[in-house]
Structure 1
Amino acid sequence: MPPTWHATMIGPDEDFAGAPLLRTEFSVETGHGAVTGAQLHATARGVFTAFVGGAAVSDEVLSPGWSSYEWRLRYRTYDVAALLPDAGETAVLGFALGNGWYRGRLGWGDERAIYGPELGVLAQLEITFADGHRQFVGTDGSWRAGPSAVQTNDLYDGQTIDARLVDDAWLRPGAAGSGWTGVHAQEFDAAILAPYVGPVVRRQQEVSPTRIWTSPAGGTLVDFGQNLVGWLRLAVRGEAGATVTVRHAEVLEDGELGTRPLRSAQATDRFVLSGADDVFEPTLTFHGFRYAELDGWPGVPTTDAITAVVVHSDLRRTGRFRCSDELVNQLHDNVVWGMRGNFLDVPTDCPQRDERMGWTGDIAAFAPSAAFLYDVADFLGDWLLDVDAEQRAAEGLIPYVVPDVLKYTPPGDLGAQESTAVWGDAAVWVPWALWRAYGDRDALDRAYGAMAAHVRRVETLLSDTGLWDTGFQFGDWLDPTAPPDDPIRAKADNGVVATACLYRSARTASEAAAVLGRGGDAEHFAGLAERTRSAFVKHYVGDDGRIRSDAVTAYALAIHFGLLDDRVRGLAGDRLAALVAESGHRIATGFAGTPYVCDALVETGHLDDAYRLLLQRDCPSWLYPVTMGATTVWERWDSMLPDGTINPGQMTSFNHYALGAVADWLHRTVGGIAPAEPGYRTVRVAPRPGGGLTWAECSLQTPHGLVAVAWRVEPSGALDVEVAVPDGVTAEIDVPGAEPQRVGAGSHRFRAGA
C-alpha cells in the first residue's frame, strides 16, 4: 500500500555547492515491545542517498532518477529494520543530495535548474512495534543541513570531491557539525508522488584498465578496452591539497582524447587529496567513455589503483545470440553495451555529450531488440507513464524527448514541437513491442491512452490527399547520404516515410483496441489505416512498383509495414534488392529504414541480399564500425572516418543504440526465435541460414521459460537444428527444406537437406 504522508518536503537554508547533507536524530520508542518492521519512504528534488544508523539503506545510485517531475516524482521504499538501534537508543536519519536531473544541466545548451531552483528531500520513516504502535520520523523544519566533501556536481560536467572534507561524523548521534544551518519547508503537491515501476540504477560491473601510457602531448591516458557508462573509482595517496583531474572520452584522435563530440559537456572529475590513502568515487555524475586522461597523479598510476565502474538500470538479461562470424558477434556485443549505457533510468539517445535525453525516435526503432536482450517490461513501462503524462498535458502531442525538457528551452533549429513520424510513433510502437514480448494486457491498457491520442492527433494533421505530408519531419534521420552538418537531408521523401508510419500506427492501434475490447476504436483506427494505405498507394506508388523518391527506406517501410498488394509488393521487393545491390550492399538507410530493410528483403525473396547487407564491411555498414574497433553502436555510420579522424559533424556519438536495431533481425531471422503470439506462449522457430554462416545459437528467457535454438550447416550441406521448448509452450517449427510442424515442451532435433 502507498504510504500516508505526514512528512514535509524540505530544503537546506544554504545550498552547500549543490551537495548538502540533511539529518535528524531519533530514538526508537520504548514500551511497545519488539520492532516488527521499519520502512523508509523517500524521494528528492535532485538525487539522494539515504542513511539510517550510519549505513546507506541501499546500494542504488542516482535515485529517484529522472521522470516527468511536473506530474510524477517517484519515491523509494526501503526495509530498514536491520539498521535501527535498540529501543531507547538514538540514531541518525540522513540524506546526501546532489543536483541530478532536477537541477543540473539538461539539453544541449546551458539550461540548468529547469524543474526548480532548490534541492529538497521528502522522507518518512515508519517503525512498527509488536503491540501495533507505529512511530513516525519525517522531514520537517527541525532538521539540520550542512556541507559535504562534494564541491561541484553535474551529470554533464562531472564532480569535484575534496577528501580533506570527508567526515562521517554527521551520521553519528550528537554531531553538531561546523557550518550547519537550518532547513525550510518547500511548497509541494504530494499528489504527484508515485512509486517506482521500473528498476533503480546500480553499479553493475567493474572494468580494469587494459593499458596506461603517455600521450604525444605528455598526458597520462588510460584505456579500458570497452566504451562504457559510469565513472572511475580511484585509490590514490599524495600531498594534501593536490588535485587529480580526470577527463573522459569515447575515442582517441591523433593520439589524444577525442573530446569534440562531447560539445559543451566537460565530463571532468576533480579529486583533491587529503594526504592519506584516499578512495574517490563520483556517484553524483556519470560519463560515457572508453578512455580517461589523468592529470596530477602523484607518481605513476597502476592498473590496480584505477577501476571503471559500469552503471545502469538494474535489468535482467534474457536474450543471447552467437554465430560463426566473429564480426557479427562483436556487432551484437556492441548493441548490448550500447543498450546498457543508454538504459540509465531513461532510454536515452547517448550517454556522453550535452544531451542524454529520452529521444522517442531512438527507442521506437530499438524497442523490439531491447525487449529480447533484457527484461525491460518495467523499465519501459515506467517511461511510458511519462509519455502518457507528457501527451496529456500537450493534447496528444508525443514530444521529441520524454521527459520533455525541450518545452522549456528555446526551439532552436527544430522549431516548435509537433507530432512527427517514428518519434511520435514511439507511443504506439514501444507498448506494442512490449505486448508482443511479454503478453501483459494490463500494461497494454495503461499505454493505450497515449497510443490512441497520438494517432488521433496525427489524423488532424493530414492534407486533403489523406497523406501525412505536412509539417516538420525528422524523416529518415541520419541517412548516410546526408551531409555531416545536415543529417535531416535524407533521400527518402518525408511524406512517404510519415504516411507509411501512420499506416503502421493506425493498424497497430486498431489491433490494440481489439485486444482491449474497445470495438469502436478498433473500427475507427482500422478505417484510418485503410484510408491511409489507399492514399499512399494512389499518390506514391507506381504500377511498376516504384515508390516516390526511389529510396531504400521507402521500399523497406512499404513492404514490411504491409502497404502493398502482392503484385506490387513483388515488384517493389525486386526494386529494393536492385538498389541494395547497386550500392554494393552498403547501408543506405537512417533511423526510419534501418530496422526494417533486412526484413523487407527477406519477405520478398531476397535473403542473400539481406545477408550481404549484414556482412558488408565497407562504410557505411553495420560491420564497418566493428572493423574500426568499435565496442558500442555509433550514432552515424561513419562517426569515425576510415583515416581515424572523427566525423566533422557537430553531432557525433560513439554510443547510440538506434542503428543497432538490426539485432531484432538477428534474433528472429538468423537465430530463428520470434513470438507467434504475445508473450511467447506459442513461439515461432524459423531460422534462415545464409551468408556463409555455418552455425548460430540463440536463446530467450520468455515469461514461460527458456527457448533455445541452435543450428549448424554440416559439410554435406545438411541443416541440423536443435530446439528447446519450455513447459506450457508450443513451438511452430519452420526449417528450410522441411515440412512445417508444431511441437510441445522438450528437446527436439530437425534435419533437412543433403
Structure 2
Amino acid sequence: MDTTASDLRIEHRDGVALGIGEERPRLSWTVAPGTVQAAYEIAWLVTSPDGTVLDQGSVAAEDDARVLVPWPAAPLPARARAEVRVRVRDADGAWGAWSPEAVAERALGAADWRARLVGPATEAEGGDRRPPLLRTDFTVPGTEVRAARLHLTAHGLVRAEVNGRRTTEDTLLPGWTPYQDRLRVHVHDVTALVRPGANAIGLALADGWFRGRFGFEGGTSDIYGTHVGALVQLEVVTDAGTTVVASDGSWRTAPGPLDHASLYDGERYDARREPAGWSEPGFDDASWDAVTVHELDTATLCAPDGPPVRCTEELHPVNVTADGDGWLVDYGQNHAGRPRLTLPALPAGTVVTVRHAEVLQDGTLCTRPLREAPSVDEVVSAGEPLVWEPDFTIHGYRYAHISGIPAAPTPGAVVSRVLHTDMRRIGWFECSDPELNRLHENVRWSLKSNFVDIPTDCPQRDERLGWTGDIQAFAPTAAFLYDVQGMLVDWLRTLTSEQERLGHVPVYVPWIPGGAFWRPWQDIAGWGDAATLVPLALHQASGDAGILARQYSSAKGWVDHVEGLAGEGRVWDEGLQLGDWLDPTAPPENPMEAVTDPHLVATAYFARSAAAVSEMATVLGRAEDAARYAALAAEVRTAFVARYRVDAAGEQDPSADTQTAYALAIAFDLVTDEDARRRIGDRLAQLVRESGYTVATGFAGTPLVTWALSATGHLDEAYGLLQSHEAPSWLSTIDRGATTIWERWDSMLASGDVNPGDMTSFNHYALGSVADWMHRVVGGLAPAEPGYRRLRVAPRPGGTLTRATVRHLTPYGPAKVAWTLDDAALTVAFEVPAGTSADVDIPGAAPAVVGPGRHEVVVDRDDMDRALAATAPLPA
C-alpha cells in the first residue's frame, strides 16, 4: 500500500505560494485511502533569496493530525523561502516516501520597501483620462540570474512587463480592497524574464476600482483618489550579488494606447498609439514625462489570502448569425469574461466594436438590464494583423455583437476568456435528472461569474458589489463546490475593516457611495449577519478555527449592535429591513414588498447570529461568552415565538403564515417544542402543496425551505418544489433557457420578454443556495463535524430520481456517496477518507458508524419506503 503523503499545502493555497503574509504558515496533507497515519515527520529548508540557509531541520510526532498542522520551525523572516516535505508512518511502523515539496516565500516587511508609489501627475476629477504607461531601464550585473521576484501593487489596476513580456497571466491586479486600509502586494517569479545586462520594466495602468466610475445611478468616480500609480520592487539575485530596482521619481510616463479603460464601460484600444518596444531596454523615452511620486503608507501593504483572477477556460461560439451591421455571437453560456479577437490586416483606423449582453430580446442584444454599464470594447486597427484582448475590464454576458469586420468570424478568431478567482474545484453532483444537473451547473457558473476577487452580486450591470446578504445565503454552497477559504477570508478582512471604520456592517463590502438609497449606517438583517454566518460556514467546511478567531470580534460586535437595536424585548421590529428580498410576489419596482413580515425575518436572524457567536465562542474556548450568547439566542427565540406566533400554524397574522416564516423557524431552530415544530412543518408542507409546488420565497427563505421540509419529514414536498417546472421555480428558469441562476424568479417572463424592473440580472447566485440541500440531502454527503473529520452519509432518495452521486475533496481526502434505486432495492456505495469516520443513516438500514474505506449498503425497497414514510427528520 502506498503510504506517501500527497497534496501538501501551505495554508489554503495551491502551488508555489509567493509573497505570503504568515510567518508561521500551517500545513495540510492527505494520505491514500486505507492508510492509517500513526505518525508524521516534517522536514524543512528555509533560505534567503541568495540561497543562504537560514533554517533547516525536521520534526516527528506520534500523531494522526494532517490538517492545518502548526508550523514546526522558527518564524519565517521577510523574503525567506521555505521548502517543506512530509512523510507518514503507518500502523505497522513503515514510513512512506517523502511527499513532493510545498514551497512558500514570505512577503517583504514594511521596512524592506525602497519603492515609492509613482504615476502621472494627479489629474482633474472625473471624466475620461487616458490610461498611462510607466517604464524604466535597469542593468543587472554578473553572468547568471539565479532568482528574480517582482513585488507589485497599484492604486488602480496594473499589468507589468519585463523585457517586453508579461510577468503573469493574473489579471485585475491588485484587486479590490479598502485601499486606505489594505493594499495587496502580488509577487511574480520573473527569473526567466530578467537577464544579465540591459533590462526594462514596463507598466500599464488603468482606473479600476480606485478612481474609475463605479456604483449606482451613474456611478461615482475617484472613490479612493484622483491619481493612479504603481509600487514596484524588483529584486534580482545573480552571481554578482543582489540588485534592487525600485519605482521612484526617475521613472518615465506617457499616455498609452488605451483611450479609456473602465470596468463598466469597457476598453477602447488604438493600435496606432502602441509605442513599439516600450517595455524593452533601449526604448527612447526622452519625450515621456517624469513620474509624480505619491504618498503611500507602507503599513497598508499586505499579502493576499486568496488566489488572483485568471482566465480559467475559453468559450468558442456555438452560433454566429448576421445581425444589422455586424455579427451576433452566442457563446452558449452566460459567464464573466472578456473577448479575444484575432483580426486580419484591416485598413488603418478601422474600428471593431464588441458589445455584450446576457440575453436576447426580439432576436438582438438586450442591454437594458446593464443600466449604465455599456460593456463595449473597441479596437482601432493600425493596418496590421492583431490579436487583442482587453486588460482592465470584465463583462457578464452570453452574447456579443461584433461590428467592423468584413465577414463572419472564422473558427478561433473570436473566443471568450472566462475570468474568475482561480479557486480549486472540490465538489461535484450528478443525478438521473438532466434538468437538475443543468440546475447544478447553473449554480456553479453563477459562482464562478461572481467570485471575481470579491463575492459580487452580479457581473454585468452597474453594480458588481460585494453584497453581504448574497454571500451569507450562499457560503455553504460555495464552500462545497470550490476551495473558497482564502478568497472569503480575505473578503472577511475587508468586512471587518469597513465595520470598524463605519461602526456598522454595511450591506455591501467594500463600501462605496450608494446612490440615493443605500447608506453605510443601515442595519439590515440577513446582510449584516454575514459577519457571523460566513465565518461559521467556512469553519464548517475546513475545520479552521483560525477563521473564527480572526472574525470573532466582528461577529460579536454585530450581535451586540443588534441587541442594542432590539432592546430588552428581544424583537428587532424597528427600522428599514429588506426582509425576504425578491419574494416572487414582489412587484418589479419594489423588491422589498414581500408577504413575510420583514421584522420577523430580522428577529429570526438575530436569534441565529446570537447562536452562531455562541458556537464560535465554544470552539475558541470562551466559555463565558458561549453561555451568554446561548442565553441571548434563547431569549430571542422565546420573543420571536411570542410575537409572531408561528407555532399557531396558520392561525396567526398572514405575514407570519408564509413559507419563509416557517422555513426560518424550523431551520434556525426557533421553535424547539416538538409538537409545535411538527405543526409548523405540516403547515409549511401544506403551503407548498397549495402553491402547486411553486417557490414562494426570496433571499431569506429560499436557502432554507427545502431544509425545513426535509427536517420535518416532508421529503416529498421538498422534492416536488425542487423538480417543479411551474413558475416560479428553479426548473422553470431552465425551461426559459437559463444557463446561470437568475436574480429574480421572473427575470425573463413567460412571454420571453425581460422583466421590466430596472433591477434584473440573469447571473446571481443567491437563489442557487438550494444546491447545498442537493449535496447534503439528495446526494447524502455532509460534514458531521467541522472539517469532515466525521462525515454524515445520509441520502434521501425522492422525486423521480433513480440515482445520484456527490463527491467532495475534504481536507482529509476525497469522499463520495453514490446511490441507485430500482423497484427492488436502494444501493448506496460510499467512500470515507483515511483518518475519518462516517455516521451512516440510510433509510431502511440500521444506523452505523464506519471507518475509512469503501462501503456499500443495500436496502430492500419496501424497507426504504417504510422508513421514509415514518417521516424521520433530518438535522437542519
TM-score (norm 1): 0.96
- Check conservation: 1:239, 1:273, Cα contact below 8 A: yes
Aligned to 2:593: 489
- Check conservation: 2:326, 2:405, Cα contact below 8 A: no
Tell whether 2:207 aligns with 1:99: yes
In structure 2, C-alpha distance between the alignment counterparts of 1:493 and 1:595, rounded to whole Å: 18
- Check conservation: 1:47, 1:65, Cα contact below 8 A: yes
Q: Secondary structure at 1:461's aligned position in 2?
A: helix
Tell whether 2:476 aligns with 1:476: no
Deviation at 1:14, TM superposition (A): 7.7
When the two chains are superposed, the root-mean-square deviation of aligned CA atoms in Å is: 1.5
Aligned to 2:115: 7
Q: Secondary structure at 1:82's aligned position in 2?
A: coil
The percentage of counterpart residues that share the same residue type is 49
Q: Secondary structure at 2:581's aligned position in 1?
A: coil
In structure 2, C-alpha distance between the alignment counterparts of 1:544 and 1:592, rounded to whole Å: 21
Aligned to 1:518: 622
Render the CA deviation track for 1:675-701: whole Å, top value 9, x for unaligned. Answer: 000000100010000002000010000
Deviation at 1:168, TM superposition (A): 3.9
Render the CA deviation track for 1:730-754: whole Å, top value 9, x for unaligned. Answer: 0111111001111111111101124
1:439 aligned residue (531, 535, 543): 543
1:752 aligned residue (859, 862, 866): 859
In structure 2, C-alpha distance between the alignment counterparts of 1:177 and 1:481, rounded to whole Å: 62
Q: Matches of residues 620-639 of structure 1 in structure 2 within 5 Å?
A: 620-639=728-747
- Check conservation: 1:725, 1:745, Cα contact below 8 A: yes
Deviation at 1:543, TM superposition (A): 5.4
In structure 2, C-alpha distance between the alignment counterparts of 1:170 and 1:690, rounded to whole Å: 64
- Check conservation: 1:400, 1:417, Cα contact below 8 A: no
- Check conservation: 1:14, 1:181, Cα contact below 8 A: no
Render the CA deviation track for 1:249-290: whole Å, top value 9, x for unaligned. Answer: 000001110100000111101111121111120121010000
Aligned to 1:697: 805
Aligned to 1:655: 763
Aligned to 2:8: none
- Check conservation: 1:13, 1:181, Cα contact below 8 A: no
Aligned to 1:222: 329
- Check conservation: 1:249, 1:257, Cα contact below 8 A: yes
Render the CA deviation track for 1:267-315: whole Å, top value 9, x for unaligned. Answer: 1011111211111201210100000111221233223211111011111
Q: Secondary structure at 1:159's aligned position in 2?
A: strand
In structure 1, C-alpha distance between the alignment counterparts of 2:517 and 2:744, rounded to whole Å: 20
Q: Secondary structure at 2:807's aligned position in 1?
A: strand
Aligned to 2:531: 427
In structure 1, C-alpha distance between the alignment counterparts of 2:837 and 2:560, rounded to whole Å: 37
Tell whether 2:640 aligns with 1:536: yes
- Check conservation: 2:583, 2:697, Cα contact below 8 A: yes
Q: Secondary structure at 1:751's aligned position in 2?
A: strand
Deviation at 1:147, TM superposition (A): 2.5
Aligned residues: 743
Q: Secondary structure at 2:648's aligned position in 1?
A: coil
Q: Matches of residues 175-190 of structure 1 in structure 2 within 5 Å?
A: 175-177=283-285, 179-190=287-298
Aligned to 1:46: 156
In structure 2, C-alpha distance between the alignment counterparts of 1:265 and 1:84, rounded to whole Å: 40
Q: Secondary structure at 1:639's aligned position in 2?
A: coil
- Check conservation: 1:420, 1:472, Cα contact below 8 A: yes
In structure 1, C-alpha distance between the alignment counterparts of 2:380 and 2:129, rounded to whole Å: 15
Deviation at 1:413, TM superposition (A): 2.9
Q: Matches of residues 655-674 of structure 1 in structure 2 within 5 Å?
A: 655-674=763-782
- Check conservation: 2:320, 2:329, Cα contact below 8 A: yes
The amino acid across from 2:115 in the alignment is: A
In structure 2, C-alpha distance between the alignment counterparts of 1:383 and 1:298, rounded to whole Å: 45
Aligned to 1:79: 189
In structure 1, C-alpha distance between the alignment counterparts of 2:460 and 2:179, rounded to whole Å: 23
- Check conservation: 2:328, 2:401, Cα contact below 8 A: yes
Q: Matches of residues 247-396 of structure 1 in structure 2 within 5 Å?
A: 247-395=355-503
- Check conservation: 1:347, 1:359, Cα contact below 8 A: yes
- Check conservation: 2:201, 2:280, Cα contact below 8 A: no
Deviation at 1:81, TM superposition (A): 2.2
- Check conservation: 1:18, 1:97, Cα contact below 8 A: no
Tell whether 2:238 aligns with 1:115: no
Q: Secondary structure at 2:267's aligned position in 1?
A: strand
For structure 2, the 5+ residue unaligned runs are: 1-77, 79-106, 862-876
Check 1:426–1:664 CA distance in 2 against 1; reply closer, same or farther (3 A cut). Answer: same
In structure 1, C-alpha distance between the alignment counterparts of 2:647 and 2:249, rounded to whole Å: 75
Check 1:552–1:543 CA distance in 2 against 1; reply closer, same or farther (3 A cut). Answer: closer
Deviation at 1:178, TM superposition (A): 7.2
Q: Secondary structure at 1:504's aligned position in 2?
A: helix
Aligned to 2:133: 21
Q: Matches of residues 561-572 of structure 1 in structure 2 within 5 Å?
A: 561-564=668-671, 565-572=673-680
- Check conservation: 1:463, 1:470, Cα contact below 8 A: no
Aligned to 1:527: 631
In structure 2, C-alpha distance between the alignment counterparts of 1:542 and 1:645, rounded to whole Å: 38
The amino acid across from 2:845 in the alignment is: A
Tell whether 2:271 aligns with 1:163: yes
Q: Matches of residues 555-566 of structure 1 in structure 2 within 5 Å?
A: 555-564=662-671, 565-566=673-674
Aligned to 2:170: 60
- Check conservation: 2:511, 2:520, Cα contact below 8 A: no
In structure 1, C-alpha distance between the alignment counterparts of 2:849 and 2:528, rounded to whole Å: 38
In structure 1, C-alpha distance between the alignment counterparts of 2:624 and 2:828, rounded to whole Å: 45
Aligned to 1:643: 751
Aligned to 2:39: none
The amino acid across from 1:82 in the alignment is: A
The amino acid across from 1:221 in the alignment is: L
Aligned to 2:14: none
In structure 1, C-alpha distance between the alignment counterparts of 2:117 and 2:172, rounded to whole Å: 18
Deviation at 1:44, TM superposition (A): 0.1
For structure 1, the 5+ residue unaligned runs are: none
Aligned to 1:453: 557
In structure 2, C-alpha distance between the alignment counterparts of 1:18 and 1:405, rounded to whole Å: 23
Deviation at 1:511, TM superposition (A): 0.8
Render the CA deviation track for 1:508-541: whole Å, top value 9, x for unaligned. Answer: 1011011111222212211211110111111111
In structure 2, C-alpha distance between the alignment counterparts of 1:251 and 1:732, rounded to whole Å: 45
Render the CA deviation track for 1:394-447: whole Å, top value 9, x for unaligned. Answer: 22x1111101113xx44x234563221110001111110000000011122112
Tell whether 2:182 aligns with 1:69: no
Tell whether 2:728 aligns with 1:614: no
In structure 1, C-alpha distance between the alignment counterparts of 2:647 and 2:578, rounded to whole Å: 28
